[in-house]
Amino acid sequence: MIPPVPQKVLVMDDAEQALLARCRANDLLAFEEVVHRYKNKVHNYIARMVNDADDAEDLTQDVFVKAFISLGSFRGEASLQTWLYRIATNLCIDRARRRKRQRWDTMSLDEPVRDDEDDEIGRDVPDVEADPYRHLERKELRQQVRRALGRLSEKLRAVIVLYDVQGLSYEEIAQVLGCPLGTVKSRLFNARAELAKHLKPYLYGEGAEPHA
Amino acid sequence: MRKCQSVEWRLSAYLDGQLQPTDRAAVEAHLRECPKCAAMLRAMRVGVEALRSMRTTEVSDAFWQRLRERLPQEKPTGWQRWVTALRWGWTERQQAACRRLAAAAIGVVILIGSWTGVKNYQGRVAAEQYAEQCAERHSLYLVHQPFGDATALSGGLSE
């Protein structure tokens, strides 16, 4: 059993309510404090969602610009963090839709993509000539995990990143995504199962039967 | 096969230690017998551990500066602030603006009321003056042409 992710139940406390009230009164210092508190969390989430450092920075900017404009429509039912994650998720999904439309005719399987550690890696075509029983080094494993993440749908990726990377609770994820708790659990299972399915060929070799 | 499906479904919760003791025991018993499910669990565990060990990314140093430059252009417009106020309450400036607006509205109502009253008064005065003029002219007319009416009256009687 792996150690559980620290579960945090984030509700808006009095200090956060006061901060929000100051933001609504166009207090830029208060908004700067919000940005300072959450910028890296939001960036880390987006970086795992889009797997592109430059886009992650730009999208994180967009999240806070949108938050600034939408302060009036934020009801304060969820914590600021939950709200920011919700905006980030929507922006990531919008970006994915745009890119799918734009790249439908132009994407090449041989075209290299850059991961966030500046490693040139090929697209996800299994190399059947490789040693099927090789053990992956940690860095290579992370690359495989990133690729596997990239193959998940945005909805599955959002759940697994929010839970396993960002450390949110099921309840918070349900708030972020606006879906029932059962859906969160089922998506988390599906995401992890997909991840495992993509990793198995690299862990056990192409077509090899796993050992007990 | 059916057992594999039911166990696979619980592997995620098993990994997080969120199964009840009886369910956990059933899953562990199946994992001892089924290499496929055991391999699935191992791959899942490796993936999750890799996710959790990924380094945390950070924004660039110029993040706030860049963001700050974008904010004024995209600040809420006047009407958006009023919509916000309707939902979340008024700021002091908006309260002052409301007081001024209410005072102006009361002033306009008083002005319209006064103007209407004056107009009505002027109308009544004009009507009364006209009636007086008519009565006066009619009396003068009777004085200067007394036979016109008398002839008509006598003619009417002779018939």
**Cα B32 to Cα A139, B39, B49, B104, B135, distances in angstroms:** 30, 11, 22, 83, 122
Contacts of residue A209, Cβ cutoff 8 Å, sequence gap at least 6: B35
CA–CA dist A9, B108 (Å, integer): 54
Which residues in chain B have Cβ-Cβ distances shorter than 8 Å to A148? Answer: 47
| B57–A40 CB contact, under 8 Å | yes
C-alpha A177: how far from chain center: 12
Single-letter amino acid code for the residue at B72 = P
Report the percentage of chain B scoring pLDDT > 90.
Answer: 36
List of domains in chain A: 14-204 (1.10.1740.10)
Q: Looking at A54-63, A164-173, B77-86, which range is the least confident one?
A: B77-86
| Backbone CA torsion sign across A84, A68, A150, B46 | negative
Which ipTM was obtained for this model? 0.74
C-alpha B159: how far from chain center: 83
Question: Which stretch, A13-27, A115-129, B32-46, B69-83, has highest mean pLDDT?
Answer: B32-46
pLDDT of amino acid A192: 95
H or E stretch including B140?
A: helix B92-144
Q: CA Rg, chain B, in Å?
A: 48
pLDDT of amino acid A13: 80
Closest alpha carbon within chain A to B55: A44
Q: B interface mutation test: which of A71, A164, A202 has the most B CBs within 10 A?
A: A164
**Cα A123 to Cα A131, A143, B89, distances in angstroms:** 18, 11, 53
What token pair was written down for B33? 């017998």
The per-residue pLDDT for range B146-158, each reduced to its tens digit, is 665 555 555 444 4
Q: Looking at A27-31, A49-53, A101-105, B140-144, which range is the least confident one?
A: A101-105
| A-B contacts at Cβ under 8 angstroms | 152
CA–CA dist B120, B134 (Å, integer): 21
pLDDT at A56 over 50: yes
H or E stretch including A121?
A: strand A120-121
**Cα A90 to Cα A83, B94, B120, B158, distances in angstroms:** 11, 33, 63, 105
Contacts of residue A182, Cβ cutoff 8 Å, sequence gap at least 6: none
Report the percentage of chain A scoring pLDDT > 70.
Answer: 74
Instruction: Give the residue among A43, A73, A74, A37 at the shortest CA–CA distance from A57.
Output: A43
The per-residue pLDDT for range B8-62, each reduced to its tens digit, is 888 999 999 989 999 999 999 999 999 999 999 999 999 999 999 888 899 999 9
What token pair was written down for A145? 């995990």
